[in-house]
Amino acid sequence: MKLLKSHKTFEGRTEFWSHPSRETKTEMKFSTFTPAGTIKGCLIWLSGLTCTDENFITKASAQRSLAMHGLMVICPDTSPRGLNLPGEHDAYDFGSGAGFYVDATSEGYRDHYRMYSYVTSELVQIIKEHFKVPKISISGHSMGGHGALVIGLRNPKLFKAISAFSPIVNPSAVPWGQKALKGYLGDDTQNWKTYDSCELLRAGQKHPKTILVHQGLSDEFLEPQLKTGHFADLAQQVSQPHQLVLCEGYDHSYYFISTFIDEHIAHHATCFG
Amino acid sequence: MKLLKSHKTFEGRTEFWSHPSRETKTEMKFSTFTPAGTIKGCLIWLSGLTCTDENFITKASAQRSLAMHGLMVICPDTSPRGLNLPGEHDAYDFGSGAGFYVDATSEGYRDHYRMYSYVTSELVQIIKEHFKVPKISISGHSMGGHGALVIGLRNPKLFKAISAFSPIVNPSAVPWGQKALKGYLGDDTQNWKTYDSCELLRAGQKHPKTILVHQGLSDEFLEPQLKTGHFADLAQQVSQPHQLVLCEGYDHSYYFISTFIDEHIAHHATCFG
């Protein structure tokens, strides 16, 4: 593991890392904030389309609150990099910067686009073995909110808490999700369901803690791509504890995230106990 | 004045603007955060070398505290843009992105590089007339910390408070400053002194309120370029109220600024009364 940059922040450290990944078979980057003193737990943050490991750590204003609660955050990149697969760099919503947190099965992509396993297995191992933090939770934004809901619901023992900002809750039913799932998984729509938080709730997957979701009501993607209400309705039906906070006037940006990130960090801290 | 982007943030708004400037005779950009409710005062933030109007507003984590205190911030770009003067784009520390907050007198530059007048006259007018905020203060980082100290000391009635992070306090005596002052002002070193906070203190310029300065002790530029101690020594000699906070382990980055920005905002709020 290579430490690329390190900056003292709120008495802790904001750092940028690189390592050869066994899952993606590429060099992967991630950023971290580690507070001073005892670390109570580690939040994995999954970013959205076009993002890298840098967006959250530079723009979300999370370090103050993380330091206060004694939490670490780790922010992986959103896809493998440095490859040249067919179609990989043609659009912002597929391929590089758009891994969708799935294990691909399609030709070419299946050898590298293994972001589900990268997060749930390799990154978890790094948190436990390198950073020596045993308790882990998960959150994210947009495509990363989808990733957090899916990964958390499928691994409720491993992840002590789940939250999301503006998540794509029902990717099988919206253009972003359909393009990505078809591209990475082909036409096997049964497999698509294992990467769709609404379908997971429908299939009986649950998490013991309240899932916290913030959604801006002036978010241009809410109706066509996110459909946050689908998740809240299903959670209600299957008695999954959840809190959907609808935020008047807020959009899809990191300014929205920075406004409410403290509430998410407090929620994760409470779930770590 | 054109509103380019607007994002609800902490119940207020983070916005990006563009306008034709009478001082620089170019289109100039600035960003703002305006809190909801009554605005108690406006902080002008001056950024450092290579920065634009975007760095502070996206990276400093200032909006939470600004909203809490009812303060607005306005962040101008660091130089005119869109010109093609001789040598303007050859280096990171002169010309575009490096206006040094002076009114240039050198051939070519004197017609556009008027950042001192842009800030003290044109931006002040925009704050008062467009945003209707009568009380103004000033802060900044590195080259912008220099700008804040110089502009505040030369206009102690106009600016209710001054603070700085990692300022270039004595530009006449360091390589960054000497290159810029020579390039913009030629060999007239008497004129250089009007843009040097140490020389201004020496010449009797004072501000009635405590000048707050934070300086990281792991800042690679401290010794060769910033020389923060020169300012503290002179302030002591001439009884300028000041507080220099030396921060063990912190560097020159926005992670340092984000750690201590709340203290600066509280200081400005106190000075606004």
pLDDT digits (tens, 9 = 90+) for A233-272: 999 999 999 999 999 999 999 999 999 999 999 999 999 9
Tens of pLDDT, residues A44-74: 999 999 999 999 999 999 999 999 999 999 9
* Residue of chain A nearest B64, judged by CA positions: A259
Question: Do the beta carbons of residue A94 and residue A183 sit within 8 Å?
Answer: yes
pLDDT score at B191: 97
- Show the tokens assigned to B128: 């008062």
What range does the domain containing A107 cover? 2-272
pLDDT reported for residue A28: 98
Q: Return the percentage of chain A with pLDDT > 70, whole number.
A: 100
Q: Residue B69 half-sphere exposure, CB side, CA atoms within 13 Å?
A: 25
Q: What is the pLDDT of residue A265?
A: 98
The whole-number pLDDT of residue A99 equals 98
Number of domains in chain A: 1
Q: Which pLDDT score, from 0 to 100, does residue B258 have? A: 98
Three-point CA angle B77, B127, B40, nearest 5°: 115
Q: What is the pLDDT of residue A47?
A: 98
pLDDT value, residue A81: 98
Binning chain A into helix, strand and coil, the percentages to the nearest 5 are 40, 25, 35
Share the mean pLDDT of chain B: 98
A-B contacts (CB, under 8 Å): 65
Specify the pLDDT at position A253: 98
Contacts of A64 in chain B (CB under 8 A): 61, 258-259, 262
Which residues from chain B sit within 8 angstroms of residue A8, using beta carbons? 216, 218, 249-251, 255-256, 259
Q: Do A63 and B61 touch (CB under 8 A)?
A: yes
Task: Give the C-alpha separation, A254 to A129, whole Å.
Answer: 31
What's residue A13's pLDDT?
98
- Percent of chain A beyond pLDDT 90? 100
The predicted-structure confidence for A4-28, as pLDDT tens digits, reads as follows 999 999 999 999 999 999 999 999 9
Instruction: Output the pLDDT for position A210.
Output: 98
What band does A135 get if pLDDT is binned at 50, 70 and 90? very high
| B251·A8 Cβ contact <8 A | yes
> pLDDT-based confidence at B201, cuts 50/70/90?
very high
User: Of A53, A103, A196, A219, which residue is the catalytic one?
Assistant: A219
Q: What pLDDT was estimated at residue A53?
A: 98
Q: Which residues contact A40 (CB under 8 A, 6 or more apart)?
A: A69, A70, A71, A135, A269, A272
CATH of the domain at A37: 3.40.50.1820
pLDDT in tens, A159-181: 999 999 999 999 999 999 999 99
Amino acid B119: pLDDT: 98
Task: Say if A154 is an interface residue toward chain B (CB within 8 Å).
Answer: no
Q: What percent of chain B has pLDDT over 90?
A: 100
Give the model confidence (pLDDT) of B42-63 as tens digits: 999 999 999 999 999 999 999 9
Short-list A161, A110, A169, A168, CA closest to A138? A161
What pLDDT shows up at residue B80? Answer: 98
Say yes or no for a CB contact (<8 Å) between A58 and B58: yes
* B213–chain A nearest CA distance, Å: 17
The kind and range of the H/E element at B247 are strand B242-247
Give residue-wise pLDDT tens across range A83-129: 999 999 999 999 999 999 999 999 999 999 999 999 999 999 999 99
Residues B218-248: pLDDT tens digits? Answer: 999 999 999 999 999 999 999 999 999 999 9
Q: What is the pLDDT of residues B127-159, one digit of tens each?
A: 999 999 999 999 999 999 999 999 999 999 999
Per residue in B76-94, pLDDT tens?
A: 999 999 999 999 999 999 9
**How far is Cα B66 from Cα B268, in angstroms, rounded to an integer?**
10
- Contact of A9 with chain B, judged by CB distance below 8 Å, is answered with yes
Work out the mean pLDDT of chain A and round it to a whole number: 98
